[in-house]
Amino acid sequence: MAGPGVAAPKLRFVPKKERERQAAEKAKKEADELQRKQEEEARKKAENERQWLAKAEEQSRQRELERAPQRAPERPSERRAGPKGSSGAGKREPRMSEEEFERQQLRERYLGPEVNRHSNFSAAKKRKRATEFKFDWDEAEDTTLRNDPLASTATNGKSNSNSLNGNGSADYFSEEAEEAARRRARKIREQYGEDGPELARQFMDNWYAARDQARGRAQRFGFGKRWNEKTLEEMQPRDWRIFKEDFGIATKGGSIPNPMRNWKESGLPKRLLDVVEKVGYDEPTPIQRAAIPIALQARDLIGVAVTGSGKTAAFLLPLLVYISDLPPLGEMNRNDGPYALILAPTRELVQQIESEAKKFATPLGFKVVSIVGGHSLEEQAFALRNGAEIVVATPGRLVDCIERRLLVLSQCCYVIMDEADRMIDLGFEEPVNKILDALPVTNEKPDTDDAENAQLMKRYLGGRDKYRQTMMYTATMPSVVERIAKKYLRRPAIVTIGNVGEAVETVEQRVEFISGEDKRKKRLQQILASGEFAPPIIVFVNIKRNCDAVARDVKHTGCSTITLHGSKTQEQREAALASVRNGQTDVLVATDLAGRGIDVQDVSLVVNFNMATNIESYTHRVGRTGRAGKSGVAITFLGPEDTDLYYDLKQMLTKSTISKVPEELRRHEAAQQKPQKGGYRKDRKLE
């Protein structure tokens, strides 16, 4: 180093080429150093991976030993054999890197060790298993003994039902099942050696115990027997539900008794049952099964039933039981009026009820009198001079008798309104209210829960009178009928039979599109001349003057004919119905006067020459055939003037199981929706 006095050396100029050479050498050194470092790092990484892999293999062996602790230790020969000793030993897992191993350790630490790593189960299989439920037995899951007759019977013989037979034991406890169980026991005895006999004995003991338990349960609850095979004491609530479903019975109200299954269980007195048998009523109809037990408990009742269901006997028989407990009519009380009053909308229906009532009342010593228009008041007053227990009347004529003091209702305690909806349709609401208001009020039922108590309602009031009992039978329940029922009935039981407002299921309804009177008369003659239908036959028209015209055309077919309409006198009406009922006349041509309540037996055919003015009248016309369980046919001629009824008619035909909807009616525009403006045409006054 130069002293203080020595001058600093001059800077040496480095040529460009020298600078480039030095830079190249420096870059080469840096590259060599970087390569050396990378090789060193790779060597260290490979050494670490070998260490981690050795550690992972050691932990894997430890886990395998922990998972299979009961596996027998390998023999030395097997250990020497190495991977060649078994088919699965040659398969080694692929090596994991250090990062993969660390991730696996963390996953096992927090999520647990992986199990079934080599399973071929997929998420798709899991979804399929969760969404599909197999109802059939999968033979791959069968765990029973192979070649076992009982197992093969259970797997392949699906005919072994779990239902109960008539003896109360299940089908799988029948004699065939017992024999199969014995074969199973023999198989167990042969397969299990020394323990076989004991296991076979236990198997049979368990089988017999299960059979006895099933039989006892079936006998205790009556399983396997229908309601008609059981005694009354064996009937369970389930049996009564099935019974009601079989007969289409629906009830509403409190404390309603079960229906009767036959006449012997009806609770009617023996002398009345003898009369029922003599009249020829073998089996009660659904309305009789449900209504009679209720009425015998002195309950008010609303019966809603299809036409031709036997409603008359349903209210007559309880009525006769009721008045049998009252003092007989004599000099002291015969002028106080009848015990029972039956109201009906038409004269013909009144006389029909009177005729039916006399069948039951006369043998018991009771008198029945009818009061209808068309007969002189003096004649009816003469019939009432000695008193009558039962009076059957139309509302209008009965009001006349009350106002003229020919009849009083001082001791009337049983009131029946038949065809109540029709009475309202005919404008009898005011007369009906007058009649019901004229009844005594001292024996009215309380409008409380006591009205549902049979014991309280059956007792006498003051030692002589009984609570008034009111019953109403109707095919529909319009608001006016509901208003009357609410006013005069106390906590009534409601019985509904079948589908209200529908024709009975025994009537096949046919529809033909024929416009014009001449074409309809020609078609009617063809139907009557075909010989397909036996008399009596009823033909309905809408207006009175058509009756005689249609009747004349019917006579051309050789059939005897008679007409029935509002212009006929009472004697002519009675004669017309009598000639049809007696078989003297083949065809009855009538207006809706004969559409309700008129019972002519064995009517095979009803022809609606003119469609009814409303669907309710159509239902009652159709109900003149197919009565008392017999089959019948109803043919209706339709025209453009009947479009307002197409929708309801299509609905009624659709609900019938034996009727078909013609394609023309099904596709017609008017049959697609119910008319919106004003509903149907107003029903004409009964003619």
**What are the strands, taking DSSP E only, across 299-339?**
301-305
pLDDT tens for each residue of 555-591: 887 888 888 887 777 778 878 888 888 888 888 888 8
DSSP letters for 362-430: GGGT--EEEE-TTS-HHHHHHHTTT--SEEEE-HHHHHHHHHTTS---TT--EEEETTHHHHHHTT-HH
pLDDT for position 392: 92
Measured between alpha carbons, how far is 260 from 293 in angstroms, rounded to an integer? 7
| Residue 636 CA: distances (Å) to CA of 356, 510, 512, 552, 592 | 31, 6, 6, 20, 14
**Mean pLDDT within 537-558:** 85
The 3-state DSSP composition of the chain as helix, strand, coil percent (nearest 5) reads 50, 10, 40
Contact 83, 89 (CB under 8 A): yes
342: left (phi over 0), alpha (psi -120 to 50) or beta: beta
Annotation: CATH topology of 238-295+303-497: Rossmann fold (3.40.50)
pLDDT tens for each residue of 490-520: 888 888 887 655 556 778 888 888 888 888 8
Total number of residues shown for the chain:
687
pLDDT at 214 over 80: no
Q: Do domains 238-295+303-497 and 507-671 have the same CATH topology?
A: yes
Q: What residues contact 600, with CB distance under 8 A and at least 6 apart? A: 536, 538, 577, 580, 581, 588, 624
Distance of CA 635 to the CA centre of its chain: 29
Q: Please report, for the chain, the start and end positions of each structural domain, with discontinuous segments joined by +.
A: 147-221, 238-295+303-497, 507-671
C-alpha dihedral (73, 71, 95, 90), degrees to nearest 10:
70
Token code pair at residue 137: 């037995």
Annotation: CATH topology of 507-671: Rossmann fold (3.40.50)
Q: Among candidates 447, 442, 451, 465, which has minimal Cα distance to 322?
A: 465
Q: Among candidates 572, 553, 571, 621, which has minimal Cα distance to 593?
A: 621
Measured between alpha carbons, how far is 121 from 18 in angstroms, rounded to an integer? 72
Report the range of poorest mean pLDDT among 74-78, 533-537, 656-660. Answer: 74-78
Q: What residues contact 596, with CB distance under 8 A and at least 6 apart? A: 307, 345, 346, 349, 419, 422, 620
**Mean pLDDT within 623-645:** 83
pLDDT tens for each residue of 428-453: 888 888 888 888 877 788 888 877 77
pLDDT for position 69: 45
DSSP state of 662: -
How many other CB atoms are found less than 10 A from the CB of residue 7? 6
The whole-model pTM stands at 0.56
Pairing of strands 249-252, 493-497: antiparallel
